[in-house]
Amino acid sequence: MNKAKKYQVVEELTAEFTKDTNIYVCDYKGSTHKELESLRNAVREAGGKVRVVKNNLAKLALANNGIETSFEENNIFIWGEDQITLAKLVVKHATDHKDAFKVKSAVIEGEVKDAEYVIEVSKLPTKDELLGMVAYMMKAPLTKFAFGLQNLIEKKSEEE
């Protein structure tokens, strides 16, 4: 890769890492092309992006955004806006392919986090799941009230 191409990659990543604040760094050594392609497809469906980048170029792109970190060995970078969904995808892929893929770290809203943080975030419900829980909680009292009214109507009709 020539110098101009490296500058272009750093500029692209700087722009991407500014816009999308959730970046997951994973070790993919030993993963097959098919496994990585399934991860890429799942991340794309979730609105994220996946890219294998040289460590120095990613480090420069993050440094341009005021984030100091260092990387070792082979890394694949996964980023997007939806923190929890991407964390769930990354952790699920890591558990499905334990020998070939592991979560190393993450940059969440400008802060470097470790793999344990990513695992804990993956256990949280997504926005859609939370909305479903709220809807259910709002529906439950109304349902109980309706059953109570129905029972009252039936009781009154039996008395008459």
Q: What does the pLDDT average to over 44-64?
A: 92
Question: Residue 137 — very low, low, confident or very high, per pLDDT cuts 50/70/90?
Answer: confident
159: pLDDT strictly greater than 90: no
HEC string of 38-67 equals HHHHHHHHCCCEEEECCHHHHHHHHHHCCC
pLDDT of res. 20: 61
The span from the CA of 132 to the CA of 136, in Å, is 6
Residue 135 has, within 13 A of its CA and on its CB side, a CA count of 6
The span from the CA of 56 to the CA of 59, in Å, is 5
Predicted model pTM: 0.79
Please, what is the average pLDDT of the chain?
89
Question: Residue 114 — very low, low, confident or very high, per pLDDT cuts 50/70/90?
Answer: very high
- Are the C-beta atoms of residues 17 and 110 closer than 8 Å to each other? no
The span from the CA of 71 to the CA of 62, in Å, is 11
Residue 92 has, within 13 A of its CA and on its CB side, a CA count of 12
111: pLDDT strictly greater than 70: yes
